[in-house]
Amino acid sequence: MDYDVLQKDLCLLGNSFVAESITSFKDKLAFASQADDIYLFQADCLDLLDKIAAKYPNGCFDMIFADPPYFLSNGGITCQSGKVSTVNKGDWDRSRGTEFNHAFNMQWLEKCQRVLKANGTIWVSGTMHSIYSVGFAMQKLGFKLLNDVIWQKPNPPPNLSCRYFTHASETLIWAAKNSQSRHVFNYEAMKEMNNHKQMQSVWNFSPPHISEKQFGKHPTQKPVSLVERCILAATDKGAFIFDPFAGSSTTGVAAIQTKRGFCGVELESEFIQLSTKRLQLALNKRSRI
């Protein structure tokens, strides 16, 4: 990829954010479709967030979708496809103690808050192991909490120990940048999607379909339909969406399918390769519509 030509093209398109980011971070750009405002960086999200915030003190993203580490990789077991399997996902998901985990959540959330536009919002997904820390950190940082949405899973894996209830849900917290934010909420669109009734905060979505894993899978991959609903609820067409923990870039695929721009950050090479294939496929499909 000729980054100097790409930078020039982006400047001509008026996307100053990406052009300037490439100037100082171009060696980290893993994928770009400038005509569609789709970009993926291979980097530590904390470093990239600092660079973006320094250039854009008033923010540049309309929405953030974040699926941060749940800190669940502790040597435990679960049931997957009828077989016992480990819950270990990688060092990036390993807990380093409650205080460290919470400090990390404070750190990345504070940086994300800085790059949100004045009326921007953030969605964060998690389980009980992480989401309460996230919610507390948000309140400490001055975010305005809007909703906690329950993602109900219709066929969760059984609880093997038989010592507590089967885990059948995850929580998403939706929050605005601060109490002064006049956030977007597409109420009528959500109502139309729900048989013309008010959309409630319990959503039933199956895990990612096999077609969403044709190039491989991420251990905490979300269904595209779930992220699409978040995007459609909280942004208008043409919005610019950021994902600091891109993983397999489900947020990017959802952004492409809903005609939004996307900027994602992922550190692991394995998932960069997976993301690149998924993003390109989604762009190819959209171009044929």
Token readout for 149 is 């949405």
pTM for the complete prediction?
0.87
Structure tokens at 80: 């997957």
Per the DSSP assignment, residues forming a β-bridge with 174 are 123, 147
Q: What is the pLDDT of the chain when averaged over all its residues?
A: 87
Whether residue 43 contacts residue 265, with contact meaning beta carbons closer than 8 Å, is answered with: yes
- What integer pLDDT is reported at residue 24 of this predicted model? 62
Question: Which residue segments constitute the domains of the chain, with CATH numbers given?
Answer: 3-287 (3.40.50.150)
Residues 139-171 have pLDDT tens digits of 999 999 999 999 999 988 888 888 999 999 999
What average pLDDT score do residues 120-141 get? 97
Least confident span in 91-105, 162-176, 184-198: 91-105
CA of 59: how far to CAs of 2, 64, 213, in Å? 28, 12, 33
* Cβ burial 171-188 (10 Å sphere, 16+ → b, else e): bbbbbbbeeebebbbbee
**For residues 252 and 264, is the Cβ–Cβ distance under 8 A?**
yes
CA distances from 274 to 138, 185, 218, 277 (A): 31, 32, 9, 5
d(CA 248, CA 271) in angstroms, rounded, equals 5
pLDDT at res. 96: 76
CA distance 21 to 25: 6
